C-alpha cells in the first residue's frame, strides 16, 4: 500500500492516514504532462489537450527516435450524465498499429486509436474517434491519456487531440469501441448518489457535501459508497 506524502511527511487527517487511492480532486482539469523523444503537449483550453510529434527523419524531418507522452488529471461531475470524449489525429499509412492513442477513465481503457493502413510511405491519414461514458453527480473521475509513435519512422505532422465535455445527457455508450459487457460505473454509485444528495443539504456538510463535520477520517466520499457505512448523524 502506497502512502501519500508531501515534503517527506505522511499526510494525515484527524489521526487517520490518507492513502493515495483515496485522494480527492483539489485541482480539477489541471493536467500533468510527461513526454519523451521530442513529443510536446499543448492545451487549447483545460478540457482539450494535444500531443504533437516531430517529423520522422526518413520522411524529411529531424527525429530518429520513438516519441511518446502521458497526460493525467482529475475532474468532478456536477450532475448525472455523460463524459463525452472526442479524439482526432493524423497518423501514418505505412503500417497499421502506429501513432497509438489510449484514453483511460478511472483506470479503464475507454478509447483507443492508431494507424490502420499499409504501404503508404510518408502519406498521412486523419482519424476521428468518439465515445461517451456515464458519470454521476459528485463522482471524482480520473483521466489519463497516453500516446506513442511506437517507432521513429513514417510520420509527418503526426498528432492526437483529445477533447472532453461533461453534460447531463443520456448515459449510454455512443461507440462500439467499448464492449457492452464493460462497466465504467463504479460499485455503489447509485447508493453514493442518493447519499450525496442528502449530504449536500445537511447542516454538518463540508466542501459542498464531499466531507462531513462529524466524520474524522479521510475519503468520506469513497466510504459513502459502502452499504456497511452509515451517516454519523443517522440521516442514511
Nearest CA to 171 among 142, 137, 196? Answer: 137
CB 235 within 8 A of CB 198: yes
Q: How far apart (Å, rounded) are the C-alpha atoms in residues 171 and 221? A: 22
CA distance 129 to 148: 17
Task: Please state, as a whole number, how many other Cβ atoms lie within 10 Å of the Cβ of residue 67.
Answer: 25
Residue 4: pLDDT over 70: no
**pLDDT for the residue 195:** 84
Helical H runs in the chain?
Answer: 189-200, 220-223
Assigned architecture for domain 32-167: Sandwich (2.60)
Q: What is the per-residue pLDDT across 204-215, written as a single tens digit (0 to 9) for each? A: 888 778 788 888
Rounded to the nearest 5 degrees, what angle is found at the Cα of 115, between the Cα atoms of 142 and 69?
Answer: 40
Which residue in 166, 160, 112, 171 sits closest to 141, CA to CA? 166
pLDDT-derived band at 175, boundaries 50, 70, 90: very low
Q: Where are the domains of the chain?
A: 5-24+188-223, 32-167
Angle made by CA atoms 211, 228, 202, in degrees to the nearest 5: 30
Looking at the predicted structure, is the pLDDT value of residue 28 above 80? yes
How confident is residue 189, by pLDDT bands cut at 50, 70 and 90?
low
Amino acid at each position: 500500500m502506497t502512502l501519500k506524502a508531501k515534503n517527506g511527511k505522511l499526510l494525515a487527517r484527524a489521526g487517520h492516514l490518507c492513502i493515495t487511492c483515496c485522494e480527492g480532486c483539489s485541482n480539477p482539469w489541471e493536467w500533468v504532462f510527461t513526454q519523451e523523444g521530442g513529443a510536446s503537449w499543448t492545451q487549447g483550453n483545460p478540457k482539450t489537450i494535444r500531443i504533437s510529434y516531430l517529423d520522422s527523419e526518413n520522411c524529411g524531418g529531424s527525429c530518429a527516435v520513438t516519441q511518446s507522452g502521458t497526460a493525467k488529471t482529475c475532474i468532478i461531475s456536477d450532475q448525472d450524465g455523460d463524459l463525452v470524449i472526442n479524439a482526432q489525429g493524423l497518423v501514418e499509412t505505412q503500417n497499421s498499429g502506429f501513432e497509438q492513442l489510449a484514453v483511460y477513465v478511472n483506470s479503464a481503457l475507454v478509447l483507443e486509436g492508431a494507424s490502420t493502413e499499409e504501404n503508404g510511405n510518408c502519406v498521412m491519414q486523419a482519424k476521428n474517434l468518439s465515445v461517451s461514458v456515464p458519470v454521476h453527480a459528485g463522482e471524482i473521475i480520473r483521466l489519463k491519456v497516453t500516446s506513442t509513435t511506437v517507432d521513429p519512422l513514417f510520420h509527418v505532422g503526426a498528432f492526437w487531440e483529445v477533447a472532453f465535455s461533461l453534460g447531463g445527457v443520456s448515459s449510454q455508450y455512443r461507440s462500439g469501441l467499448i464492449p457492452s459487457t464493460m462497466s465504467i460505473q463504479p460499485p455503489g454509485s447509485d447508493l453514493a448518489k442518493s447519499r450525496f444528495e442528502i449530504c449536500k443539504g445537511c447542516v454538518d456538510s463540508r466542501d459542498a457535501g464531499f466531507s462531513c463535520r462529524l466524520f474524522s477520517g479521510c475519503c468520506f466520499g469513497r466510504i459513502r459508497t459502502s452499504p456497511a457505512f452509515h451517516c454519523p448523524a443517522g440521516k442514511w
